[in-house]
Amino acid sequence: MRTQVGIVGAGPAGLLLSQLLHLQGIDTVILERRSRAYVEGRIRAGVLEQGTVDLLDAAQVGERMHQVGLVHDGIELSVGGKRHRIDFRALTGKAVTVYGQTEVTKDLINARLAAGGKIMFEAEDVGVQGFDGKAPKIRFRKDGKTHELACDFIGGCDGFHGVCRVTVPQDAQTVYERIYPFAWLGILAETPPVSDELIYCHHERGFALFSMRSPTLSRLYIQCAPDEHLDEWPDERIWDELRVRLGGDAAGALRSAPSLEKSITPMRSFVAQPMRFGRLFLAGDAAHIVPPTGAKGLNLAVADVRVLARALAEFYASGRSDLIEAYSDTCVRRVWKAQRFSWWMTSMLHRFPGRNPFEDQLQLAELDYVTGSKAASTALAENYVGLPFD
């Protein structure tokens, strides 16, 4: 088999890269170890920056997003039961769109298949090689047979647990990581939103987040210990805890409903540098993980793909390689800014085990400053809606 760009992973990063390259006349093949049903059923983030929305439009996959996505002009921070609104539109002139990553994935798969794109689901034992030279190859098994895909470049879009990053020699990359002493317990439930916008809650019992996926579907999170198990959290306990942490009118408006999906997500910050090794490019979670507090994970993946698609398109159009060579440096600047923002939001809103009363008061002072200062609110808003692309 032969293609121009071989892509490992059919998440949003790999699919969007394939779609953008297709629009430039560049051939791709996507290899995905999971089934299509599994990929389309994964529940993930759902807050899209303005730049992400614009790029999905440019990729010709934004129609359904605009039909059913929810445009939010701000968020609310709840401190001590009192809610403070951060008005994105007034502070930055921009907004975010709530549209689930699952739906983005479906839109991209449909677009690629409608255009005759090659997505090979349930590709097993995927391995990448030769990327340090001019003839990269991807080997895999499909339907019991071994195959080899020859290509010019490899897009490593296979997530944190994928094969691309771990194939790179350890002495060729530097890893930065921070593990947080808490996790998020999240549920998806068919219950009406209690607010028109997301509510981030700081509470003495721990952080909570109210968000939504549609006018009838809510996504809610509570801070828990990383070693807790789902069987310790029956639905009734979760709804009771959400009411305590949300407080006020939001607690009174919250309607219990059976959870459609329930999960515990550990919290970590992770960056692997560089993001390019010869003709292998890491993108999205394969290269970096952020705590979900800042809603940056999917948006960072999209930003990586934007840079990579442009670099590859320029190479095929003119032979120009400087954008390819600059790929990692260009992406890493944005990655670390998103890491800083995500760490800051996480540190400001969560309860840290073992934190002393002095540190608790500093945290409250930070929240008071952010909600009381236009300059501080603007800084939060500017980062949340998405920093400008380079």
Catalytic annotation, residues: 72, 200, 292, 296, 384
Distance, in Å, from the CA atom of 263 to the CA atom of 251, rounded to the nearest integer, reads 22
Distance, in Å, from the CA atom of 133 to the CA atom of 326, rounded to the nearest integer, reads 18
Structure tokens at 6: 């071989």
Alpha helices in 59-100 (DSSP H): 63-68, 88-92
Alpha helices in the chain (DSSP H): 12-23, 36-41, 50-58, 63-68, 88-92, 101-114, 164-167, 235-246, 248-253, 297-318, 322-325, 327-349, 357-372, 374-385
Q: Tally the C-alpha atoms within 13 A of residue 197's C-alpha that lie toward its C-beta.
A: 19
Q: How many other C-beta atoms lie within 10 A of the C-beta of residue 154?
A: 26
Q: How many other C-beta atoms lie within 10 A of the C-beta of residue 364?
A: 14
Distance, in Å, from the CA atom of 7 to the CA atom of 280, rounded to the nearest integer, reads 10
- CB contact at 8 A, 204 and 247: no
Q: How far is CA 143 from CA 40, 120, 124, 285, in A?
A: 21, 11, 9, 28
Identify the sign of the CA torsion 91, 97, 100, 105: negative
Q: Which has the closest alpha carbon to 244: 218, 223, 265?
A: 223
